[in-house]
Amino acid sequence: MFNITNQESILSYSKKGTLPQVGLTYLVSELEELKASLHHEGEDQFSLVDHGYYMLVVQSEDTCTLTDGDVVVNLLENEPEYVELVELPNGVYMYRACLMPDNECFLLIYALRGALRLELEQWFAEQSGCLAKEDFE
């Protein structure tokens, strides 16, 4: 799992090369929208964590329990606020989920469709309503 807190963390994540460029572009736009909604456009020292937000990118090696510093959440044991499947250019799909483990924290979770462990892929697909039986046979 990778935690995106600011622009620098996205740059660091992009160097790993684990996400297609359209996925990175999508995450940058999501971060910029959050910054704008929190009234921090143009600020260099902005961090989502200061506002109780976490942008977590689930990766292929991750299990159902996501752990990063203060964040520990088992996806299978939590009821998401929403899960959606976002279609990006070039036939790329990403899941986007929101969890609120308490009243002080928003977890925005992103995952590349087709690049997850089976149990995670099934969870995202079921929660988003995009489960096709043939996807998991």
- In this prediction the pTM is 0.85
Residue 70 CB contacts under 8 Å (≥ 6 apart), including other chains = none
Least-confidence region, from 35-39, 55-59, 106-110 = 35-39
In this predicted structure, the answer to whether residue 92 has a pLDDT above a threshold of 90 is: yes
Task: Name the band, by pLDDT with cuts 50, 70 and 90, for residue 18.
Answer: confident
Strand order in the sheet with 53-58: 2-4, 53-58, 105-112, 92-102, 82-88
Using the Cα atoms of residue 67, residue 91, residue 48 and residue 84 in order, give the sign of their dihedral.
negative
Classify the phi-psi angles of 42: left when phi > 0, otherwise alpha if psi is within -120 to 50, otherwise beta: left
Residue percentage of the chain with pLDDT more than 70 = 87
- Residue 110 vs residue 66, higher pLDDT: 110
Q: Which two tokens stand for residue 29?
A: 């736009």
Residue 84, amino acid: E
42 token code pair: 């143009």
